[in-house]
Structure 1
Amino acid sequence: METDFSGRQALVVGGTGGIGATIAQGLAERGAQVTVHGGSSEDRLRRVLQGISSVGGTAQGFLHPITSAESVDSLFRRLPRVDILVWAWGPFLRKPLETYTSGDWEYLAKANFSWPGAMVSLTLRGMLDRGWGRLLLFGGTNTDTIRGFTSTAVYSAAKTALAVVVKSTAKTAADRGVTCNMICPGFVDTEYLSEEARAYGKSKSPNHTLLSTRAVAELGIQILLSSQINGAIIPMDGGVTL
């Protein structure tokens, strides 16, 4: 297992808040040169970059809304090299299956499957050429295998499909020094969680607590350091799926 990311270029998509921001700092603390991607908030981006600087890390960042396949391509073109890809962004929608619109289906499928999958393909090419790369994606709660969902069916279907991309990438690239893995967190205590969602998450967890972003980020960093963890779909949910 490597001990740090010195000399590696990392891109964290969705790095201005939640799990992404914490992973971005963890990568920088271990020597990576981090590019922090955000969607729209200059304040969030500035705070994350200041936090990384305060611990002696090196980072740059920019805002680049992801709204189409073309915006994924243009995001990739802004970076000369990506050794480590962390995709920590994905919109969530909870409502009864029969109330989803065609627009809901299209957007959630693109944002949680097609666009992260496209970025995997784009960054993988350079990783294979250089003989080293790390990709870390995020699933949803209970999406480590095929299950049924009554209120998050579309989001969860897209995340379950993304797991196929993870395993396919691992199988394709394992002999070229590249790994690809997925963490499926449970209910994580982020600034995006409403009080209602926070209470719901605690009620579903066997230990009645929420995950911290620090705990998820620490697992992510260990996965990224390892050359032997590959194609893994890892539930980290405090036992919600038991």
Structure 2
Amino acid sequence: MKDKIALVTGSSRGIGRDIALKLADVTSGVAVHYKNNRNAAEKVVKKIREKGKLAVSFHADLTKEREASALVRNVEEKFGRIDILVNNFGPILAKSWEKVTSSEWDYILRSNLMSALYCLKASLPGMRKRKWGRIINLGYSRAEQLVAFSTITPYAIAKTGLLILTRSVAASEGSAGITVNMVSPGLMEGGILPESKSVPKGRLGKLEDISSAVLFLVSDEADFISGTNLIVAGGWKI
């Protein structure tokens, strides 16, 4: 793992930031992607460099395939490779489905589903060539249950689609030494549904809960795990 390069989308803050910082401990470098907040991304870069690792920030609007492809190309030109791709980019919209505008539907689906597709399509050729790759898609804990969730319907649809994409790519890329998995958070500290009483574990999820799951799935110990959805939710709504 020490010679690997990781790209983490949406890593200027929150879960993505924590994943980028944790990956810096076990890899040789991390590409920090941001869409809006360059200053925050540069702060993440600084922290990674303080660890003695390589880090560069990259801007891209991943809802556009052209920019997603350019991001991957730029990272490969700068670092020489992408071994680990973490598709974290994608906001959640808390709004009754009836009140969601067409443009909001489009943006949520593009940012949470299509952005991951664009990035993994662009990253796969290099991973295939090297016969090694780790792709982690960030989901949400109830994607497999196909339950009604009227306040985050576009987001739930996008993440359910991402789960199917995760398993489809895992099935097709195993022979190339590439694993593809999903990490699905439940209720998180600072999230839109702070209902810790409904979590059997008795607390909300922490950033390190998610980043620890990602670190395991990209490790050599998880080499035989692919196509799985690792739900990190403290037993919530199982």
The equivalent of 1:33 in structure 2 is: 29
Query: Deviations 1:106-165 (Å, cap 9, x if unpaired)?
Result: 111111111211211111121112100000011123113422212111110110001111
Among candidates 207, 217, 223, match of residue 213 of structure 1 = 207
Contact kept, 8 Å, 1:29 with 1:56, in 2: the verdict is: no
Q: Which residue of 2 aligns with 1:83?
A: 83
Deviation at residue 223 of structure 1 after TM alignment:
0.5
Task: State the match for 2:233 in structure 1.
Answer: 237
Mapped to 2, the partners of 1:231 and 1:67 lie a distance apart of: 24
Q: Which residue of 2 aligns with 1:188?
A: 188
Q: Which moved more, 1:172-181 or 1:66-75?
A: 66-75
Among 184, 195, 205, the residue aligned to 1:201:
195
Q: Report percent identity of matched pairs.
A: 28
Unaligned runs of 5+ in 2: none
Aligned partners of 2:188 and 2:82: how far apart in 1?
27
Could you tell me which residue of structure 1 aligns to residue 60 of structure 2? 64
Aligned-pair distance for 1:67? 4.1
| CA 1:230–1:67: 2 relative to 1, 3 Å | closer
Spell out, residue by residue over 1:54-101, the C-alpha distance to the aligned partner (whole angstroms, 9 max, x if none). Answer: 333322223333342222122122122211100111111112122222
Q: Give secondary structure in 2 for the equivalent of 1:154.
A: helix
Alignment correspondent of 2:110: 110
CA contact (8 A) 2:137 2:181 kept: yes
Distance 1:98 1:151 in 2: 9
Question: Which residue identity does 1:147 align to in structure 2?
Answer: V
One-letter identity of the residue aligned with 1:214: E
Alignment of structure 1 residues 113-152 onto 2, 5 Å: 113-152=113-152
Mind listing any 5+ residue stretches in structure 1 that lack a counterpart? Answer: none
Cα distance in 1 between the residues matched to 2:171 and 2:73 = 26
Does residue 1:165 correspond to 2:165, yes or no? yes
- C-alpha displacement at 1:32, in angstroms? 3.0
Greater CA deviation, 34-43 or 151-160?
34-43
For residues 73 and 122 of structure 1, the distance between their equivalents in structure 2, rounded to whole angstroms, comes to 6
Q: Deviations over 1:179-224 (max 9, x none)?
A: 000011012225xx4xxx36x3324323341111112101110111
- Higher mean displacement: 110-119 or 64-73: 64-73
Q: Give the conservation status (yes or no) of the 8 Å contact 1:166–1:231.
A: yes
Q: Secondary structure of the residue that 1:11 maps to in structure 2?
A: strand
Q: In 1, are the aligned partners of 2:63 and 2:115 still within 8 Å (CA)?
A: no
Q: Please say if 1:12 is aligned against 2:8.
A: yes
- Read off the aligned partner of 2:149 and give its amino acid letter: F
Moved more, 200-209 or 179-188: 200-209
| Shift in alpha-carbon separation, 1:174–1:162, aligned structure 2, 3 A | same
For 2:89, the aligned partner's letter is W
The residue matched to 1:78 in structure 2 has which SS? Answer: helix
Of residues 53-62 and 208-217 in structure 1, the stretch that sits farther from structure 2 once superposed is 53-62
Report if the CA contact (8 A) 1:145-1:160 is conserved: no
Q: Which has the higher contact order (CA 8 A, sep 6+)?
A: 1
Q: 1:63 to 1:42 in 2, by over 3 A?
A: same
- The answer (yes or no) to whether the contact 2:5–2:83 under 8 Å persists in 1 is yes
**3-state SS in 1 of match to 2:201:** coil
- Are 1:24 and 2:20 an aligned pair? yes
Label 1:201 to 1:50 Cα distance change in 2 as closer, same or farther (>3 A). Answer: farther
For 1:129 and 1:189, the matched residues in 2 are separated by 40
